[in-house]
Amino acid sequence: MTAAALQVRVPAGLRGYTGGRPVVDVDVAALGDAPTVGALLDHLATTLPDLERRVRDEQRRLRRHVNVFLGTENVRDLGEQATPVAAGDEVAIIPAVSGGA
Partner 1 sequence: MIGTRKGLFLARSEDRAGWAIEGPAFPMNAVYAVAVDTRRETPRLLVGADSEHWGPSVFHSDDLGATWDEKEGGALRFPVETGAALTRAWQLQPAGPDQPDVVYAGVEPAALFRSDDGGDSFSLVEGLWDHPHRPQWQPGGGGLCLHTVVPHPTDADRVLVAVSAAGAYRTEDGGTTWQASNAGIQALHQPDPFPEFGQCVHKIARNPAEPEEMFLQNHGGVYRSHDGGGHWEAAENGLPATFGFPMVAHPHTPGTAYAFPLVADAHRMPPEDRLRVYRTTDGGDSWHALDAGLPEEPAYATVLRDALCADDATPAGVYFGTRGGDVFGSADEGETWASVARYLPDILSLRAAQVP
Identify the DSSP state of 98.
Answer: -
**Residue of 75, 78, 94, 87 lying closest to 28 (CA atoms):** 87
Give 33 or 58: the residue with its C-beta nearer to partner 1.
58
Closest distance to partner 1 from the beta carbon of 93 (Å):
10
Residue 77 DSSP SS3: helix
x-marked contacts with partner 1 along 9-48 as a string, rule CB under 8 A = ----xx----------------------------------
Is there binding between residue 92 and partner 1 (CB under 8 A)?
A: no
